[in-house]
Amino acid sequence: MIEYLIIGSGIAGISFAETCIQNGKSFFVLENNSQNSSYVAGGLYNPVILKRFSKVEGAQEQLALLNSFYGSIEERIHAKVNFPLPILRKFFSIEEQNNWFIASDKIGLSPFLSTDLLFKQYEGIDAPYGYGEVLQTGYLDTTVLLDGYRNYLKENGLIGYETFEYDQLAITPDFIQYKDIKARHIVFAEGFGMHANPYFRHLPLDGTKGELFIIKAPGLKIDVIVNTSVFILPLGNDLFKVGATYNWADKTDLPTEEGKQELVSRIKEILNCEFEIVKHFGGVRPTVKDRKPLVGTHPDYANVHILNGLGTRGVMLGPAMAQVLYENIENGVPLDRSCDIKRFDKKK
């Protein structure tokens, strides 16, 4: 018997798997292909919500864990996945500059917002009002991360690939049995695929579709991430990842003409150089209306758990929420109500 059966190997699933490894717990992962949002994610980590100039709750703790956590994974899979890189917020007016300075004085935001405006001229972008620099930022190469980690699991016999059959799951007070797998606990980390899960589909996982581009722009010369109405992330060789859109109605992974036109329009507002679309892709982010994760244990089954709802900040939240869930299961450490699924209990 193993300790944990983990369903899903996106950011949430591999975060919990890595947490098991670091704590010496046995596990097995089933990748059921229920979602692909981790693959198409921008992968940015940023402690500030730039649209509202507000702090991400728990950002400092999440960032501290992020660096050590992904550092361990880099050693494990022998590949670089974490790339610290400044995020520059382009200003479009004096008013936006003033709002930046007001925000930089707020408690909790001052460690993350530089008070020195940047007026560096980057080829391909006009920025007469300059930029504000967000500190302690960067991105994860989610494709290298997921492919590398899954290969590591495969080489060690720790992952299987199949569609999860919920009716094959037997739950007893002391263990769960899924086909020939016996485990003390099961953790569902299925992303938007949770909607097919009879144990947790009552939870309000909304799902927000995002579309992104890879563009080629030889006239754009930046070595930072530029953020305005979209982010522009340099990938090298004149290639850039650009995103993202937000669509609350469409729950498919298919790129759309509407999303394409929206991104093209936003890119043209920022760049003054030519670009071509190399790739256009989409995915449904596992988001919750209150913008908080879904972490916890089923009300009727003490060994059935969920790790989901990481949304647009999955690479920051994944390690922290995996650790929180692990400590709750193993050591009875209470979950913060902001992430606990009990906040949706109709009895309260």
How much is the pLDDT for 331?
Answer: 97
Considering the domain boundaries, does residue 55 fall inside one?
no
Do residue 222 and residue 276 come from a single domain?
yes
CA 104 to chain centre: 25
Do residue 111 and residue 155 come from a single domain?
no
How much is the pLDDT for 186?
Answer: 98
Considering the domain boundaries, does residue 67 fall inside one?
no
Do residue 217 and residue 278 come from a single domain?
yes
Do residue 201 and residue 212 come from a single domain?
no
Residue 125: DSSP 8-state: B
* Two tokens, residue 307: 């790790």
Do residue 261 and residue 128 come from a single domain?
yes
Domain end: 243, 269, 285, which one?
285
Do residue 212 and residue 255 come from a single domain?
yes
Mean pLDDT split into 10-residue runs, the chain, 348 residues:
97 97 98 69 88 84 94 97 96 93 89 93 95 95 95 98 96 97 97 93 89 96 94 96 90 91 95 96 88 95 97 92 98 96 78
> Residue 48: phi, psi to the nearest 5?
-130, 135
Q: Is the dihedral of CA 84, 147, 185, 342 positive or negative?
A: positive
Considering the domain boundaries, does residue 27 fall inside one?
yes
User: What's the total number of domains in the chain?
Assistant: 2
Do residue 336 and residue 228 come from a single domain?
no
Rounded to whole angstroms, the Cα distance separating 190 from 177 reads: 19
Domain with 160 in it: 2-45+143-205+289-344
Tokens 């890119």, residue located = 267
Considering the domain boundaries, does residue 254 fall inside one?
yes
Q: Which helix (H) or strand (E) holds 4?
A: strand 2-7
How much is the pLDDT for 348?
Answer: 43
Query: If we measure between CA atoms, which residue out of 318, 315, 121, 150 comes closest to residue 224?
Result: 121
Do residue 262 and residue 329 come from a single domain?
no
Beta-bridge partners for 340: 295
How much is the pLDDT for 347?
Answer: 47
**Which residues, 6 or more positions from 291, have their beta carbon under 8 angstroms from its beta carbon?**
311
Burial of residue 165, with CB atoms counted within 10 A of its CB: 0-12 exposed, 13-18 middle, 19 or more buried: exposed
Q: Which CATH number does the domain housing residue 110 bear?
A: 3.30.9.10
Global pTM? 0.93
Angle in degrees, 0-180, between the axes of helices 11-22 and 314-331, rounded to the nearest 10: 50
How much is the pLDDT for 39?
Answer: 61
How much is the pLDDT for 50?
Answer: 83
